[in-house]
Chains A and B, each alone.
Chain A
Amino acid sequence: MKTEKQTRPSLYKTVWRWHFYAGLLIAPFLIILAVTGSIYLYKPEIENFLYKDLYEVTPQDERISPTTQIEEVKKHYPDAVVTTFRPGESESRSSEVGIMNHDKSLTVFSDPYTGNVIGELNNEDRIMDKIEEFHGELMAGTVGDRIVELVACWAVILVITGFYLWMPKKKFTVSGVVIPRFKKGKKILVRDLHAVPGFWIAAGMLFLIMTGLPWSGFWGSHFQNVATQTGVGYPPSIYFGSAPTSTIKTKEIADVPWAAENLEIPSSEVEGFIPIPIDEVVTVAEREGIHPSYTIYMPSDPTGVYTLSAYPPKAQDELTMHVDQYTGAVLTDYRFDNYGFIGKVVALGVTLHKGTQFGWFNQLMSLIICWGIIFVATSGYYLWLIRKKKHELSAPKAPSARKVKGFLILLIILGIIFPLVGLSIIVVWLIDWLIIQRIPRLKQFFHA
């Protein structure tokens, strides 16, 4: 049996070793996430600046109907299929018609007072969407998404191990703990410039990780799916589950003939329900008092429904509504208040994460955390470089985590909560066991 005196330092060294390796591997990704994140925080301001000419219109007395606006757009894009319509949230805001034109997804901006087409934007060219893609999946699809998720999960381990390493050994002192020691030499200063700001941003960093994770592709989608299915998450169809279908039976719907097919249309094919014009959908939206920033998604097939959704800056204003395309009946009307408890927490987390919930103050707080992450990651690297010996990784030597019970339990718990972390730990152990332990040079290099 080990005595208390022997286990404490070995626990410290093991934690340090894990913090070292985890940091070394994920810090570059954390820097990417922090840089892209700090840009994305200002998405509304950046887009308002970039697309000013497309967004702004001069208000007049009379607006023309959405149908007329869409007709006008169709004149410019005769082959396009209209997929969305966004009326615009203010008097001086253009309306947007989303179209698929020769396999390109375009947003066409229309002046709701004149019907004039102001301009178009290829959705693939939206710079902020690229930033978001970088932030969420490193521009590498599913693989990138999983990497980001893994980085986020490992960042939790970094924060926890970092917190343990930061904790004063004996008694609490101010210098070296909450403020850096500037006059104790370079090594101590660099250590403090890593550990002290690390402590200051730890809570914020954990917050950003925990509010971002529900949007990750693996952990997040399972988490959200379970929440939805148990009645505590988002209502179905917002992220999981399908939208309702029309209340009108398929055989009751009027068949739409294909163009230039034949001129002899049998009246049995003609008879039936026809879709309500989009103007009526806008009327429904106004009657139901939904946030004016909503977008209408067109039904994608004859049994489909109109989907209205809005994700305004504040989570409390969110909504997803389905309107029957033939009867105009509201089939579902989900507002923030109708979310389950977890759904509310996640939705608030998202708007806080994106910095929109509390306006400029929210953006500023998140920006400080992002810059803090960049600073701490960089100072961590620098700390390693000044400690590193030539031709050596200079990782802290420590007993295997499997021999340090407290730490092993922490890893197992995290590995279960975040299966990707569990999987990556297994992979690391397999590499260690199958390769590193068997090749003396590697063993020495990694201090394994």
Chain B
Amino acid sequence: MRKRFSYSIAALFVIVLTACSNEQDVVTLYKQENPINLDIYIPETFTDNQQDTIKVKLTQAGEPVVDADYVHFEIWNQEGTVHYEMEQAKKEKNGLYSIRKDFNEDGLYFVQVHASNGGSIIMPQKQFVVGKLTENDVEFLDSHAKPQSGGHEGHH
């Protein structure tokens, strides 16, 4: 009796432990969001005295977002000499949206896309370089560098 009892307890342990270590995708069992995914396309090279096109491709749940609630672009450079205020993007096919601007000054630039569709709102920023970095830009990038000592605290 005692033997059988302890065997069954041991068996139960094994069942509980193996059942719990089975990792599976449980996310789908709960409320899910539908975030916008994006790619920002920056031209490989920029041309002087001519406009260049920056494009963004929006997808949601793997499908292109062909008719977003809004897509705005904002572009500025690190030196503070260029600032294209928030402006509505031109809608193209297959979830692509674009803007054409002059990039006549070299240096570090930022583009921020503000987009919204189906309840998801995004505001990503991408940095890119036109021509060469200025001395100021290098200093700026260095000041945002990682501190010497690392170490992070996990959540929970």
Give Cα A241–Cα B22 distance, bound, in whole angstroms.
11
Give residues of chain A (210-229) contacting chain B, Cβ–Cβ below 8 Å: 222, 225-226, 228-229
Q: Give how many B residues have a beta carbon under 8 Å from the other chain's beta carbons.
A: 57
From residue A347, how far is it (CB to closest CB) to chain B in Å? 14
Is B9's CB under 8 angstroms from A423's CB?
Answer: yes
* B66 contacts A by Cβ under 8 Å: no
What does the 1/0 interface line of A224-263 toward B look like (CB < 8 Å)? 0110111100011001010110011000101011111101
CB neighbours (8 Å) of B49 from chain A are: none
CB neighbours (8 Å) of A114 from chain B are: none
Give Cα A117–Cα B45 distance, bound, in whole angstroms.
46
Smallest Cβ-Cβ distance to A231: which chain B residue: B29
Q: Give how many A residues have a beta carbon under 8 Å from the other chain's beta carbons.
A: 71
Main secondary structure of the interface of B (DSSP, over half): mixed
From residue A344, how far is it (CB to closest CB) to chain B in Å? 12
Partner of A331, one of B35, B146, B151: B35
* B142 contacts A by Cβ under 8 Å: yes
Which of A86-94, A183-191, A268-276, A366-374 is the interface stretch?
A: A268-276
Give residues of chain B (17-45) contacting chain A, Cβ–Cβ below 8 Å: 17, 19-20, 22, 24, 26-27, 29-33, 35-40, 42
From residue A33, how far is it (CB to closest CB) to chain B in Å? 23
Residues of B in contact with A (beta carbons under 8 Å apart): 1-2, 5-6, 9, 12-13, 16-17, 19-20, 22, 24, 26-27, 29-33, 35-40, 42, 108, 110, 120-129, 132-133, 138, 141-142, 144-156
Residues of A in contact with B (beta carbons under 8 Å apart): 78-79, 81, 83, 98, 100, 103, 105, 222, 225-226, 228-231, 235-236, 239, 241, 243-244, 247-248, 252, 254, 256-261, 263, 265, 267, 270-274, 276, 280, 284, 287, 297-298, 300-301, 307, 309, 324, 326-334, 338, 340, 402, 412, 415-416, 419, 422-423, 426, 429, 433
For the A-B complex with A222-B17, A330-B33, A332-B27 known, give 17 more contacts whose Cβ atoms are closer than 8 Å: A79-B147, A105-B153, A222-B16, A229-B26, A247-B35, A248-B124, A270-B129, A270-B133, A271-B129, A300-B155, A328-B122, A328-B123, A331-B33, A332-B31, A338-B31, A419-B9, A426-B9
